[in-house]
Structure 1
Amino acid sequence: MTSWQIVRIVAGLFILISLALGIPGSPLFMNQWWLAFTAFVGINLLQSGFTRWCLMETLLRKLGARQGC
């Protein structure tokens, strides 16, 4: 699995988990502030799309993940 695939999987999981914890109708609802985490992940994805740099990808490569295309 390449570093880009891992980043996308983790980002997707973070978004789904934070939505489950932040939406009042969810059975896992904790607090609406979890939606701020969803926004944080989205902002990081947007930033990495413009700058072509992602901290998580850099860390994954240092841990031995293959570089994606």
Structure 2
Amino acid sequence: MNLDRAVLAFAGLVVLVSLTLGHFISPYWFLLTAFAGLNMLQAAFTGFCPAAMAFKLLGVKSGNAFR
């Protein structure tokens, strides 16, 4: 798995978990979904993604979108 796919998988996981927690626990968890969406939007324009930096430190090989 390269860095791009790892970031996308992690973003999808965060969205699904926050939606589940928002439905069953508290609606405040929907703020995590909003944060994930905003982070993906800014990463699309700037190329900066904190999750990509974390995965790179863990040794995930580089992809095309995040270097």
TM-score normalised by structure 1 residue count: 0.86
Aligned residues: percent identity?
A: 39
Looking at structure 2, the residues matched to 5 and 49 of structure 1 have their Cα atoms a distance apart, in angstroms, of 14
Q: In the alignment, does 2:35 pair up with 1:40?
A: yes
Q: In the alignment, does 2:54 pair up with 1:59?
A: yes
Choose between structure 1 and 2: higher helix proportion.
2
Shift of 1:32: 0.3
Q: Which residue of 2 aligns with 1:19?
A: 19
Counterpart of 2:38, as a letter, is: I
Shift of 1:62: 2.0
Looking at structure 2, the residues matched to 14 and 37 of structure 1 have their Cα atoms a distance apart, in angstroms, of 8
Counterpart of 2:3, as a letter, is: S
Gap regions ≥5 residues in structure 1: 24-28
Looking at structure 2, the residues matched to 62 and 20 of structure 1 have their Cα atoms a distance apart, in angstroms, of 29
Q: Which residue of 2 aligns with 1:50?
A: 45
Gap regions ≥5 residues in structure 2: none
Greater alpha carbon shift after TM alignment, 31-40 vs 57-66? 57-66
Alignment: residue pair count: 64
Looking at structure 2, the residues matched to 50 and 64 of structure 1 have their Cα atoms a distance apart, in angstroms, of 25
Q: State the superposition RMSD in angstroms.
A: 0.9
